[in-house]
Amino acid sequence: MEDKFYKFSEINMKILEEISDFEQVRNQDIFKEWFNFHYEIEKSDEEFLYKSIKVNRYNIDIYSELQLQLHFINPLLNRIHFYSDNFRSWFQQEISGIVNGHKISGILDFMVASGTLKPKKPYFFIQEFKKSAPIPKHPKGQLFSQMAVAIETNKINKMRGAYNIGRFWFFVVLEKIKDGKYRYHESEAFNALKINDLKQIYIILKALKHKYCK
């Protein structure tokens, strides 16, 4: 039987289970080291976060996907400044790989990876900049398939990522376990229109930059 070819954009959780087993871990202990990163937000950054909430508060739930990216998410990612001699941010980048014999490819929303002219080793993915409602297809299927491709391509066993639904952010860690199976850990939801949650999102992203992009 010939293995199927998949596009990231078509993968939901049901299709994901056809590719491999993805088991949810029902605790959030794995996030303690990541989320407890000590970082003091500068006053100018705090003012930026307050302004982001103010200008988007009444529109974020009705934004199209593109509007959500351009008005809210991309400015935040650019403020983090995922850029160094060793890594940079990548928007709308195509990648492909093999997971359990199935070829998967497509265009990513956002990735942090090493490389200058083309990405090499991925460190982090964000998918899928969906507006709040309706959600025609949950972004976890696309995100997990991208992270699995990165794990297989780079011959590692762990990848970090996040998915976004309107104002809500969820962070995830995907691990490869025995027999080509995977398990995922999912954080609590962070409401980006609440300043304390948005500050925490900012610190989590800074932690990713300083601790894991190596």
Segment 37-84, tens digit of pLDDT: 999 999 999 999 999 999 999 999 888 888 999 999 999 999 999 999
The alpha carbon dihedral of 159, 35, 72, 81 has a sign of negative
What mean pLDDT do residues 90-101 have? 94
Other CB atoms within 10 A of residue 56 CB: 20
For range 102-114, the mean pLDDT: 95
- pLDDT value at residue 4: 83
| pLDDT > 70? residue 2 | no
Mean pLDDT of 100-126: 93
Structure tokens at 125: 């993915």
- CB neighbour list of residue 107: distance below 8 Å, 6 or more residues apart: 8, 9, 92, 93, 94
Q: Print burial letters for 179-198: b (CB count within 10 Å at least 16), e (below 16).
A: eeebebbbbeebebbeeebb
- Does residue 1 have a pLDDT over 60? no
Please tell me the total count of domains within the chain.
1
Cα–Cα distance for residue pair 4/29, rounded to 1 Å: 35
Put simply, whether the predicted model's pTM sits higher than 0.85 gets the answer yes
Which range of residues forms the domain containing residue 201? 5-212
